[in-house]
Amino acid sequence: MTSTFRTLTVPLDAETFPGGLPSFLVRDDVLCWTRREAGLVGFGEIARFTATGPERFLEADIWWRHLVLEADIEDAVDCPGTGPVAFGSFAFSKASAHESRLLVPEIVVGLRDGQAWLTQLTFDDGELTEAGARAALDRWLRSGRAAEDNGSADGAVVDGAVDDPAPGAAQAGAAVVRPLPLAAGATLHTGSLSEEDWMAAVAAGVKEIRTGALEKLVLARDIVATVPTGVNAAQVLRELSARYRECWTYGVDGLVGATPEMLIQVEGRTAQARVLAGTLDRRDADGMAGSPLEFAERVLAGSEKQRHEHDIAIQSLTTQLAPFSEAMNAHSEPFILELPNVWHLASDVKAELAEVEGHVPTCLALINALHPTAAVCGTPTTVAGALIRKLEHLDRGPYAGPVGWLDAAGNGEWGIALRGAVIESPQTVRLYAGCGVVDGSVPETELAETWAKFRPMLESLGISS
């Protein structure tokens, strides 16, 4: 058996890939965490941790801390995301059969504030060198290109990507997103519940809320897309990152999507979250008086129901974060987050983490306390969680669970896996979407909201909606 876990991080010239990180999204199995041009893209897998059950976050935290404890780290860039990193995705429910996982890639390309880097990670003996790391990246990019040429990573459309890079000079091309070809013959199927049954579940949820048993409940549903020409995950990721620039585009082991909601971002002693609750389909603004944004402000910020739902979500996060924090601030007024498909009522929360015995909590320790938030479960958590199991008839799998990455110092970014899907077979994708239900929620309106939330994935799969 091995040998030490070793990593080498070297600077990369960001100008060699003007399209930013999305231009590295050339393989269906790429590990991805990008927003605008920044983030992390990983290739290969040298280690994996899996767990199920209520202790999945803490078990993963221990595994990772143990792994990096004795790691031999050479890092010429030294910022969050350099050195050893793992990408991860966790099941929403402690009762889920779905395995939560951390994946340690062989190669990572990172970009942050104009600084790019390349990390190679290994358990093998032998020297890690800059030339070796660049050659390994080139191999991954070339294999991606070859797969695209053979049609297996179908129709990938990154113009000019890795055109015979000079030896030792890893580079990708600018990502040019061409109009999406519609997936020929793609079909959509009912998931666990029919639309009628799901609306009945929403009505049952509202009834429970009226008894006073709970204040808010988030109910989700799934649909299944069949794409006979094959699901092209790399293209889906490129589409999402190009169109949903305010979102975090994620790809981890078959889970793909672009989430607007940040569960927790840890950088040194600073933790940040973006809480969303309150949704409006942008198509609802068609034909309305005033500018679309004025319409969104009137309907979202001006609605008592939406504001109430939003306040519940913020309170659930800040209450859970408070014991770990020395100071915390949230915007006093939520703002309107504008996405191509919907508007959301959003609030950013920032906390200064408290040290316990000389350490700030790692992002996985925080996730253990924060998940599930009211934004994806409800309040009170235990009552909402039990009702979700009873009414949804769905194992949410990784949907609405944390997805993101972490480094050896405990820094990381973990979004809530929304607006996403699980690629279940080369031709099959399961999409998930849910809505916050409160007193006064109307089942038909909530159903329409799920369709608006499916739209980013449907469009990037080439299925019009």
Least CB distance to ligand ISJ at residue 284 (A): 13
Judge contact between 345 and 352, C-beta under 8 A. Answer: no
The stretch near ligand ISJ (CB under 6 A) out of 130-138, 263-271, 286-294, 432-440 is: 432-440
Site string for ligand ISJ, 237-276 (x = CB under 6 A): ------------------------x--------------x
Respond yes or no: is residue 453 known to be catalytic.
Answer: no
Least CB distance to ligand ISJ at residue 420 (A): 9
Q: Is 279 in the site for ligand ISJ (CB under 6 A)?
A: yes
121/435 with CB nearer ligand ISJ? 435
Respond yes or no: is residue 352 known to be catalytic.
Answer: no
Q: Is 433 in the site for ligand ISJ (CB under 6 A)?
A: yes
Q: Is 376 in the site for ligand ISJ (CB under 6 A)?
A: yes
Least CB distance to ligand ISJ at residue 283 (A): 16
376/458 with CB nearer ligand ISJ? 376
Closest among 305, 431, 434 to 372, alpha carbons compared: 434
- Please tell me the count of residues contacting ligand ISJ according to CB under 6 A: 17
Least CB distance to ligand ISJ at residue 427 (A): 24
Closest among 232, 290, 190 to 30, alpha carbons compared: 232
27/274 with CB nearer ligand ISJ? 274
Q: What are phi and psi of 242, to 5 degrees?
A: -75, -35
- Active-site residue, selected from the candidate residues 59, 148, 261, 267: 261
Least CB distance to ligand ISJ at residue 256 (A): 14
Site string for ligand ISJ, 385-424 (x = CB under 6 A): ---------------------------------xx-----
141/457 with CB nearer ligand ISJ? 457
CB neighbours of residue 187 within 10 Å: 11
302/426 with CB nearer ligand ISJ? 302
Q: Is 136 in the site for ligand ISJ (CB under 6 A)?
A: no
Q: Is 436 in the site for ligand ISJ (CB under 6 A)?
A: yes
Q: Which of residues 215-234 bind ligand ISJ (CB under 6 A)?
A: 218, 220
From candidates 44, 165, 278, 402, binder to ligand ISJ by CB under 6 A: 278
50/272 with CB nearer ligand ISJ? 272
Amino acid identity of 453?
K
Judge contact between 253 and 89, C-beta under 8 A. Answer: yes
Site string for ligand ISJ, 294-333 (x = CB under 6 A): ----------------------------------------
* Residue with the CB atom nearest ligand ISJ in the bound state: 436
Least CB distance to ligand ISJ at residue 432 (A): 6
From candidates 367, 375, 387, 458, binder to ligand ISJ by CB under 6 A: 375
From candidates 183, 231, 277, 321, binder to ligand ISJ by CB under 6 A: 277
From candidates 434, 443, 456, 462, binder to ligand ISJ by CB under 6 A: 434
Q: Is 455 in the site for ligand ISJ (CB under 6 A)?
A: no
- Active-site residue, selected from the candidate residues 148, 216, 392, 449: 216
Burial annotation 431-465 (CB, 10 A radius, 16+ → b, else e): bbbbbbbbeebebeebbebbbbbbbbbbbbbbbee
Q: Distance (Å, rounded) from C-alpha 52 to C-alpha 60?
A: 10
Closest among 180, 182, 186, 175 to 241, alpha carbons compared: 175
387/409 with CB nearer ligand ISJ? 387
Q: Is 334 in the site for ligand ISJ (CB under 6 A)?
A: no
From candidates 6, 243, 453, 455, binder to ligand ISJ by CB under 6 A: 453
Strands 72-75 and 6-12: parallel
Question: Which are the catalytic amino acids?
Answer: 216, 261
Question: Which residues of this protein are in contact with ligand ISJ, per CB under 6 A?
Answer: 218, 220, 261, 276-279, 344, 375-376, 418-419, 433-436, 453
